[in-house]
A and B are shown apart, each in its own frame.
Chain A
Amino acid sequence: DSGVTQTPKHLITATGQRVTLRCSPRSGDLSVYWYQQSLDQGLQFLIHYYNGEERAKGNILERFSAQQFPDLHSELNLSSLELGDSALYFCASSDPPEVGGGNTIYFGEGSWLTVV
């Protein structure tokens, strides 16, 4: 158990709909990352938040957005869903920079999204 909690574990929804994925980072971690894993694209970085502020954006579509709240949990919002958005969405968190071991990232179990 990495300590990163994601809900829901599985989600089936129709095209055009909107869903919200939720993530609680490990206790004390200020950084939250979202990744998308699909068969054809592999593991793609979407977005990074640090202590409530957006730090970096990866291959995140404009239909997707995220935020990190004052209690450090994060939500990934996916709207106008398409069949191709079906994937496993991971949340991850990492140690504060002052902790040794580089920037080790700990992953949650993921949220399986199926768009039908």
Chain B
Amino acid sequence: GEDVEQSLFLSVREGDSSVINCTYTDSSSTYLYWYKQEPGAGLQLLTYIFSNMDMKQDQRLTVLLNKKDKHLSLRIADTQTGDSAIYFCAEPHEVEGNTPLVFGKGTRLSVIA
């Protein structure tokens, strides 16, 4: 069955790098996603990576994909207090077309000033 796994909590100091890890189940997933949820808000798409890529960089965000181990990570450089939020990893339920995403339980990132 589908199960996206994430650690539940991460605490870092302001200015340090944060690394949030995720394991997914479907090796045929074409895209993998990271969403961010701030307190009292909806889920905001942060970034996504296509499965033929190993790495994607977008400003302070770096996504690493290890398809062999079905492991996805999100690195946030120079973490700020505004990065405090819950981060969700997600994979498509099916390979093609409009399909629901399956989400992990989310990693709560706390940034200490």
A, B co-complexed:
yes
**Contact A55–B98 (Cβ < 8 Å):** yes
- Report the tally of A-B residue pairs with Cβ distances under 8 A: 68
Q: How many residues of B contact A (CB 8 A)?
A: 25
Nearest-CB residue, chain A, relative to B105: A42
B98 CB to closest chain A CB, in angstroms?
4
Bound state CA distance, A42 and B93, in angstroms?
16
**Residues of B near any A CB (own CB < 8 A):** 30-31, 33, 35, 41-45, 48, 50, 88, 92-93, 96-106
Chain A residue total in the interface (Cβ 8 A): 28
Which residues of A are in contact with B by a Cβ distance under 8 Å?
2, 4, 30-31, 33, 42-43, 45, 48, 50, 55-56, 58, 90, 92, 94, 96-97, 101-110
Centre residue among B35, B44, B45, B100 by max chain A CB count within 10 A: B100
* Interchain CB contact under 8 A, A33 and B100: yes
**Chain B CB within 10 A, most for which of A104, A105, A107, A108:** A105
Query: What separation, in Å, do the CA atoms of A67 and B43 have in the docked complex?
Result: 22
Cβ A56 vs Cβ B99 within 8 A? yes
Q: Pick the contact of B43: A50, A90, A101 (CB < 8 A).
A: A90
